[in-house]
Amino acid sequence: MSFFLLSVTGLLSLTLQAAALNAPQVANPPDDDMILIPSGSFAMGIDTTDLSAIMILGRDIPHINRDNALWWFGAEIPRHQVSVEAFYMDRHEVTNRQFRQFVDATGYKAGGDWERYAGENRADHPVVNVTWHDAAAYARWAGKRLPTEEEWEYAARGGRSSGWFPWGDHIDASLANYRAQGESFWAGIIRLLGLRSVNTKPVGSYAPNGYGLYDMVGNVAEWCANERRPYPGYERYFKSEKPFSPFTEAEQGSYGKAVRGGGWQSSNPAFVSITHRSAMQADDWQNDVGFRCARSVK
């Protein structure tokens, strides 16, 4: 009997220890839709030495070579160490149901045509066709804010120190909603004409990352709080390669707000990598761009 009890106690203790090691770090979340992301520091972005690996990931991009890889992925350069305070992050992308609650409660007049894909059968899909201003207004109403790019990339890692994706280095179409079959020329035309049907999935359809966050890469790309500006030290890398700088046009106008994680329409693994940085003007909206919110601890 005592042996049995000892075994059960020992087993329970081991199980609890294992659970504590594996559990996402949740402590007093403000509501059960948010997860506390612990403070820490991490290596953000990529180095020029990673471009060859990115070109392997992105080998299906038409005419990919080192020069245009700089244009596509140069905004991720250079890798630099970033410290992040603890913060709360939405477990899921904001859904049509949630965005409708906000609009019903406030009478908010959205800049984007969000209702177009927000029918009842899509209540649990992420909201799309929202501008940055729409996303920021929702966040304010919810007592939250948009995450910074630093927070977004740190959270997407889910506690892992490396890897192109939240689960590791290899793309896996069973772990994220993106356009795994690539995009033919005609499919590209259909996309440009806006005729492609929206292929979001209900939020949480795929396994979460190490922090318990769902759909950080894929499903919808996510607005961040800040503009997509060059990372510190960027100029050093691009002095001699200016023609291929992704910021050449932006430098003459606005950089646009950062958009992260890629979405259902991203036709290449390299566009749904953790480090990839897109940008859109704050008044624009697309049917593969939505958002999730963050909240400061203090």
Contact residues: Ca ion, CB under 5 A: 215, 219, 261
Nearest alpha carbon to residue 155 among 215, 195, 72, 73: 215
* Placement of tokens 């992050």 in the chain: 89
Distances (CA, A) of 298 to 30, 87, 90, 123: 12, 8, 16, 32
Nearer residue to Ca ion within complex by CB, 147 or 261: 261
Q: C-beta of 47: minimal distance to Ca ion in Å?
A: 25
Nearer residue to Ca ion within complex by CB, 64 or 203: 203
Nearer residue to Ca ion within complex by CB, 151 or 215: 215
Q: C-beta of 222: minimal distance to Ca ion in Å?
A: 5
Nearer residue to Ca ion within complex by CB, 166 or 261: 261
Q: C-beta of 164: minimal distance to Ca ion in Å?
A: 15
Sheet of strand 289-290, all strands in order from the earlier edge strand to the far edge: 277-280, 257-260, 221-227, 289-290
Q: What is the largest CA-CA distance in the chain?
A: 78
Q: C-beta of 32: minimal distance to Ca ion in Å?
A: 20
Q: For the chain, how are helix, strand and coil distributed in percent, rounded to 5? A: 35, 15, 50
Q: C-beta of 177: minimal distance to Ca ion in Å?
A: 8
